[in-house]
Each structure stands twice: as C-alpha cells, then as structure tokens.
A and B are shown apart, each in its own frame.
Chain A
Amino acid sequence: MIWQLDLIILLIVIICGIAAISIRDLLGAAIMFGAYSFMMCLLWSIMGAVDVSFTEASVGAGVSTVFFVAAVFRTTRRTRD
C-alpha cells in the first residue's frame, strides 16, 4: 500500500462525498456519486482488494449511476437542499 496515494485518494473520496450530498441538482448529485464510487474503486485496488475493486467498478460506479440517472429522468431534477 502506497500511503501517499492512499491519503490523496481518501481526500478526493471525502470531497466527492460532500459534493454529492450538497449539490442542488439531482443529476449533478448522481454524477458526483459516480465519481465517488470510482474513487472508492481506485482506493480498494491500492489497498490490495482487487476483487472488491472490480466489483465496485462494475456495480457501484456503473450500475448505481445508471440507476440514479434513470430515476432522476423519470422523476425530477429539482431539489431544495
């Protein structure tokens, strides 16, 4: 585990998480959540959990983002917080 890379990606993960819950647009929040999941996937491949990493890349960053975008297009993009 390369700790410098680990620390940088942990910071990016936290920033992406805060951005995903504070953007006032649900489509933007879905995209930020996809970025969060992809950074989490990079973090796990750094920590040596390669099986978790590619499951997260396909399921977390792929299918979850598609679900969120589909749900936002079928409902509304408007949010008040």
Chain B
Amino acid sequence: MTKYHVEAHRVTKRFGPTTALDDAGIAIADGETHALVGRNGAGKSTLVSILTGLQRPDEGEVRFSGLAAPALADRDAWRRQVACVYQRSTIIPALTVAENLFLNRQAGRGPIRWGPLRKRAADLLERYGVAVDARALAGDLTVEQRQLVEIARALSMGARFIILDEPTAQLDGPAIQRLFERMRALRAEGVTMMYISHHLEEVYEICQSVTVFRDARHVVTAPVAELPHDALVAAMTGEAGGVYRSRRGAGPGGGTARVVLAARELSLAGKYRDISLSVHSGEIVGFAGSGSSGKIGLAETLVGLHRPDTGTVTVNDTPVRDVPSALGAGLGFVPQDRHREGFVPLLSIAENATMTIAHKLGRHGIVAPSRQRARAVRLIGDLDIKTEGPHQPVADLSGGNAQKVVMARALADDPSALVVINPTAGVDVKAKQALLGAVEEAAERGAGAVLVSDELDDLRICDRVLVMFHGRIVKEVPRGWSDHQLVAAMEGVDA
C-alpha cells in the first residue's frame, strides 16, 4: 500500500451560502510532487488554507504521515509539518533577509543576538544554495530570490512538505527552469510537494501525479503519464476538447490590406533597438521572447506608455505621442498588469469597461448612465463575463472575469488596432478561450492586433510571430510553427 505523506479526507468547507469544498480530498504520496489543478474558484485556495492549518474544515480531516493534524491554535506544530509559498508574498520588505528567515523565532524569551542570527541565516541560505546576502533588505530582492528565501524558510522549520501556490506566475522562462531544477533537487532529498499552476505543461514537466478539482469537488487523481493533455483539460472544464484552436484559417493575403499600426525604426535604450513593424487590418501579429527580450517595453511603446528615443509609431497614419493620442487614433489595449493598470477595482463593470469611451456616451462631460449600461451589457454578453450585472464592482470578480473586463475596455470603441499584453496570465482555461476568441473576433471585424505573450499556446492564433531576443527582432515565423522552433529563437540558440 502506498504511504501517504499528506491526506485530506472528505473535506467540506462552507463560507456562508457558498460551498468552497464539497466532500473533496487529496492524498499525496511520500516524496512525490503532486499537482493540484482546477479552474479559478475550483477550491484550490481553500484546500491550501486547510492543509496549512489557517482554516478549519467543517467536515473531514487532515492527516500528516497517517497522524491527525495538530490543533489549529498550535501554529508552531503546523509550521513543522507544512510550509507554503503563497501567491502573495509573506516576506516583510522593510526587514532584512535574516530576520525574515527567523520571523517570530529570532530568539526565545531573552534578547535577540543579531550577530549569531545573521550567521545562522547565512548558513541556512548556503545550505539551500540561495545566493542572497542575509543582511540585504528583503524588499530589494527580485521575485525569484524572494521565493527562494521563502522556500528556504519553509524547509528550515523542519517541514518535509511544501505547497507551492502558482510560483511561476511572476517568473520568466529561465527563472522557471531554475525553480524546477531546485524542485527536482528537493525531491531527490525526499521532500514532498504540492504544486499549483495554471500552466498545464509545467504539470507534465515537474509533477508525478495530478489531482483535478472542479466546482469544489474532487474529479480525478492520476499519474500524469496516464492523463494526457486533452483529458486533463476535459477534467478541469467538464467538457471534451479544451486547448484553444484557432477559428480562422490563413490570414489575409500579403500586403493588400490596409496598415493600421506601424512602427518605424524604434529604439529605446535598455529595452529594444531598431524595431520596424507593420500590422495590417485583419491580421494578428504575435510577439514572443523571454522576460528580458524587451517585448513588453515595445508593446507599451506602441500604445504610448513609453516615449521611444528614436523612431515613430503611427495608428491609422496618425502619430502616437501618448496614450490619449493612441486611443484617439483608434487603438485599444490590454495592459500587462491588470491589477495595476487594468481596472479600478471598486468601480462597476460598466464604468470600467466604458472608461475609455466616456466621451461618446454623452456630451459636455456628462456620462449618460443608460447608454453606459447598454454598452456594458453588450460587452458582458460578447465576452461571456460571469457577473450579477453591469453594476457589480470589478473587485468582486475572479481573475479571469476581471481580465475580460479589461479586454472589454480595450474593445469598447471597436478599435482598428489592438495591442494585448499577456492577456491570459493567471486565468483559467475557459477564460483563456474567451479572451483569445475576443482577439480573433476583433481581427475578423478588420482590426489589426499585436499579441504579446509568455505563453506559446496563446500565440497559435497569430498569423505570424516575431521573436525578440535582447531587444531585437531575431526571427519571424508564419502560422504553423513548432514549440521547439520558437523556444530556440527565444533563448537565442537559433542561428
């Protein structure tokens, strides 16, 4: 019989009227890396808080190595059993790395001796191969270093079970690979891990087993080898098929269509050099590249967020000087970070989605509520936004639906040029399909689109993909490329 390191057995958890977990469970074998996948709202986060002892299940039980879990109040006992690298950082930026590592256990009852504490921290970092100065302020670390510090801290508590909750969401390709190498090394030492991610290819790369949750219930647990990609997506969505398939055939034939978005010899120090680009009506142009390739900086220049050192951007032959001029010329865009630039969380869907076209909803600065509402209802329908209605604040929506609102805003004015940056970051499979579908529809209506994405699957809808490396476009591939082709160029190993 398999020895299970962690078991959650028939767990039910309700929050008021909503059931977050319904008789669901997971069993993770000793020493394996076990993936937990499911759409937003499937109950993954609730399971994490129950497995880490932050919440008590209404029914069911948690067992570690066959023994009942500690009492909820005994935080130290929980920390010896399980550690979690949360989506949201639990590092305190104003304190040093050393203090973060030993937070609330800097000393016993007596005074803290800082010298030995720093020494212990340095030893700990060295043992886990984390090249970070223990005296540095945690706020000065990169996302990757911060995660490594969190992992080292988790292990230093003595926990042999770590939960990694979407650790790759904010990392670029090489950093993800380094994280995976580290996870493999930990596994070799016998550490058990639960891995949560929206990127299914990562699940196949790093995990041995996978558990799928859907609508608060356990759907299936299987070795990854026995659950091919399509079956996995089907288990997540409850329907067959799943990987987004482009609806359009070949793109418009050559240069006959009108150029809607053009860049001429753009350069911006430290980001990109000598970029020229023409996007035709009805065409989707993809941009691929690593985090340091400059693709985001370029896209942000196209929409007027940055001013290039040299060169010009034109939308429908109108030069772009800043964001208002770009929008005025008929451009719509989805920014990289929806939380920071995408929406105002406390305002309603209607208000957010029509923010860029407020001037069209009434004269003399008056926004007519009825027209705003009508427009929002149409956009909600078009993008299949799951909501109570246009009055609901965007803050209440799940990640995928919030992103659809951002997409709705980009599309509100029927733009003839569209720039979309990482539209599917942190959203589930179905939302992904709706978002990519919206880009395709816009192109069918005659818009020219630029799609910048870290996910290769997103780029399959593009008529051609430009690969950037160290600030230059190094390769252009037409529809029908293989992953290998693109990745090689992105990593700069392609001649």
Q: Do A and B come from one complex?
A: no
